Amino acid sequence: MDDLETAALHDAVGALRQEWGIAVPSTLTEEAIIGLLAAKVVSWLERGPDAFYQLMYRLDISETKLGAASAGNDIPRQIARLIFDRQIQKARSRQFYRSQPKPPDEPDMRW
């Protein structure tokens, strides 16, 4: 795993800790993190479909992917995988844009 991937993983784990209240130790494996997240998915599903789908919308997880995950075995774990993958994707994007040089300050573009 390169530095960018490692930073993305740490960023995603930090988001899971902060945004979702999941106690993720820093030395946990990806599969263990998904297991913890699956337990959280079960509690979200128990709250009802409206709250759950609102959360999935906020995470920007597509209905198509949710439908596919819901059609398989171990639904909470499949949904946890979608959430984890989305968090990693967002973290990679943040890491990428942080590493890009800032454009020059243009006075005409100031509000």
Render each residue's pLDDT in the chain as its tens digit; 111 residues: 566 667 777 777 777 777 777 776 666 778 888 898 899 899 988 988 898 888 899 889 988 999 999 888 899 999 999 998 998 888 888 878 777 777 777 777 666
What string of DSSP letters covers 63-94? HHHHHHHHTSSSHHHHHHHHHHHHHHHHHHHH
